């Protein structure tokens, strides 16, 4: 698809939390395919900077402020997308919180509730709207959720976060069963530790130790955002046309241990 096609002729993707890290790298791949990508996030300045990068060479992308902690904000996001473009083909539910390292007995219930609100309820509300719009359009579509190795395993000092990501796995598998025959494929990726701004800040603050994180992965390193984006891109593509309800591990061998 050429980059000068009208937006109305393009496929449309929504990526929540798309202005940085994995979301941003996924957007790069979709824009290169000729998809118009709508990124959402809380920080307008960061979002607009990312859009400038994505469109510098003729790509097509836009940014909308949205808060995954607010049902009204999520509704407004999809209302705007449908009103402007009239369709939704791809969705990547990437926004999430991981802001505590504590044993379960010491975990902060308020922080747990915040993670539940964004990582589970926010993703659930996005999925509901995405599925409805893809079914209504009659063209089907593909959705990829961001799970985690913490959604497949117990992770010490990350119990509340692990609980939210286990919920993402359950929602993904169930939606994969319920909607694949109607042309909407729902899958997830389960990344290991990835070198994003969030982890970099946590290491700087002493919340995580880089050497310990690295040793968790048989490859002996953390992953890069573009490595996760490549898996998401494949799951969205027609090359994954027989894949539904799957959890794709991209974890440097962590799950194979």
**Could you write out the DSSP letters of every residue in 88-119?**
--EEEE--------B-GGG--HHHHHHHIIII
Strand partners, 244: none
What is the rounded average pLDDT of the residues 188-217? Answer: 83
> Is there a domain that residue 138 lies in?
yes
> Is 2 contained in some domain?
no
Residue 225's domain is classified under what CATH number? Answer: 3.40.50.720
Q: Helix, strand or coil for residue 13?
A: strand
Alpha-carbon distance 213 to 201, whole Å?
14
Confidence of residue 207 (pLDDT cuts 50, 70, 90): low
Q: Is residue 146 part of a domain?
A: yes
Question: Does 75 score more than 80 pLDDT?
Answer: yes
Give per-residue pLDDT as tens, 172-187: 999 999 999 999 999 9
Section 12-34 average pLDDT: 97
Q: Is residue 257 part of a domain?
A: no
> In this predicted structure, what is the pLDDT of residue 7?
52
> What is the structure's pLDDT at 211?
87
Residue 1's pLDDT is 29
Whether 115 is covered by a domain: the verdict is yes
Identify which of 186, 61, 170 has the alpha carbon closest to the alpha carbon of residue 132. Answer: 186
pLDDT recorded at residue 17 = 96
The pLDDT score that the predictor gives to residue 123 is 98
208 has catalytic annotation: no
Closest CA to 143 of 252, 9, 1, 26: 26
* Integer CA distances (angstroms), 155 to 19, 91, 102, 150, 198, in order: 27, 28, 11, 6, 18
Residue 51, domain extent: 7-252
Confidence band, pLDDT 50/70/90 cuts, at residue 86: very high
Which region among 1-5, 24-28, 40-44 has the lowest average model confidence (pLDDT)? 1-5
> Which residue in the list 157, 161, 179, 208 is annotated as catalytic?
161
Asked whether residue 86 is assigned to any structural domain, the reply reads yes
Q: Categorize the per-residue pLDDT at 205 as very low, low, confident or very high, splitting at 50, 70 and 90.
A: low
The strand ranges marked E within the chain are: 12-16, 36-41, 61-65, 90-93, 141-146, 184-191, 247-250
Segment 37-60 shows an average pLDDT of: 95
- Is residue 199's pLDDT more than 90? no
Q: Domain for residue 11, yes or no?
A: yes
Residue 129 within a domain: yes
Q: Does residue 3 surpass a pLDDT of 60?
A: no
Domains in the chain: how many in total? 1
């Amino acid at each position: 698809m050429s980059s000068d096609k009208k937006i109305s002729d393009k496929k449309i993707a929504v990526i929540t939390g798309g202005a940085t890290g994995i979301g941003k790298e996924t957007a790069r791949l979709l824009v290169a395919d000729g998809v118009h990508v709508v990124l959402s996030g809380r920080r307008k300045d960061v979002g607009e900077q990312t859009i400038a990068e994505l469109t510098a060479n003729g790509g097509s992308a836009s940014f909308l402020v949205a808060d995954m902690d607010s049902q009204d904000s999520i509704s407004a996001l999809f209302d705007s997308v449908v009103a402007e473009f009239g369709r939704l083909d791809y969705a990547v539910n990437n926004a999430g919180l991981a802001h505590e390292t504590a044993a379960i007995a010491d975990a902060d219930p308020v922080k747990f509730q915040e993670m539940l609100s964004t990582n589970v309820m926010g993703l659930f509300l996005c999925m509901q709207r995405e599925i409805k719009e893809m079914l209504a359009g009659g063209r089907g579509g593909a959705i990829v959720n961001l799970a985690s190795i913490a959604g497949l395993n117990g992770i010490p000092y990350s119990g509340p976060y692990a609980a939210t990501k286990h919920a993402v796995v359950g929602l993904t598998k169930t939606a994969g069963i319920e909607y694949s025959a109607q042309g909407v494929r729902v899958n997830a990726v389960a990344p290991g530790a990835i070198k994003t701004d969030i982890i970099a800040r946590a290491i700087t603050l002493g919340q995580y130790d880089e050497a310990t994180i690295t040793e968790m992965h048989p490859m002996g390193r953390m992953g890069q955002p573009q490595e996760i984006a490549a898996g998401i891109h494949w799951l969205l593509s027609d090359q994954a046309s027989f894949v539904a309800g799957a959890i794709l591990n991209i974890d440097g061998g962590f799950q194979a241990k």
